[in-house]
Structure 1
Amino acid sequence: MRIIRSKDFTATRAWGADDIANMGGTTTRLHWTDQPYRWHINDGEEVFAVLDGTVDMHYRELGVEHVVTLVVGDVFFAHVGCEHVAHPRGEARILVVERDGSI
């Protein structure tokens, strides 16, 4: 049993994480960041839920870049092959569910 107060979580570096669970090869991690990540494509599907802050999610479809603004409670689903990068506006806390070892 564990209670996690996401609003209280911080890390010593951007995209630092609290590894909450690994369930059959699927990880659930709480990330804190105040910096963009990098463009990437995950090895599998990814669920990205904003718990605190605002995040501009950039993604490419058919070579065209799109941006959607995510606020608290919003969820971004990246299917296999979806190239994307998250740009927080200030501090953000994000719950990420993805295949173990994915980038």
Structure 2
Amino acid sequence: MKIICSKDYTGARAWEAQLIAVMQDATVRLHWTDQPYPWHVNDGDEVFAVLDGEVAMHYRENGCELVAHLRAGDIFYAAEGDAHSAHPRGQARILVIERAGSV
């Protein structure tokens, strides 16, 4: 059993992650960041839950770039192949659930 206080978690660098669990073919990680993550496309589905802070989630839909402003408690789902890029506003802590080995 694990109890994790996400507000206390800080990485040594942006997008550092604490592995919480590996379940079948998925990983659950707590990320800390204060820098944007590059545009990318996952090779599986991804659930992105903001636990602390704010994140401007840039994503592409029908050839257009859109931005969703996520706050603590908000969840972003990206299906396999969806292009997206997370831009924190200051520090943020994010729970990411994705296929093991996904970029």
Which residue is 2:74 aligned to?
74
1:33 is aligned to 2:58: no
The alpha carbon displacement at 1:44 in A equals: 0.4
1:44 is aligned to 2:44: yes
Which residue is 2:11 aligned to?
11
The alpha carbon displacement at 1:76 in A equals: 0.1
Which residue is 1:60 aligned to?
60
Gap regions ≥5 residues in structure 1: none
Aligned to 1:66, what secondary structure does the other structure show?
strand
Amino acid across the alignment from 2:91: E
How many equivalent pairs are there? 103
Distance 2:39 2:63 in 1: 13
The alpha carbon displacement at 1:53 in A equals: 0.1
Q: Percent identity?
A: 65
Aligned-residue RMSD, C-alpha: 0.4
TM-score with structure 1 setting the length: 0.99
TM-score with structure 2 setting the length: 0.99
Where in structure 1 do 4 or more consecutive aligned residues deviate above 6 Å? none
Aligned to 1:2, what secondary structure does the other structure show?
coil
Which residue is 1:102 aligned to?
102
Aligned to 1:7, what secondary structure does the other structure show?
helix
Gap regions ≥5 residues in structure 2: none
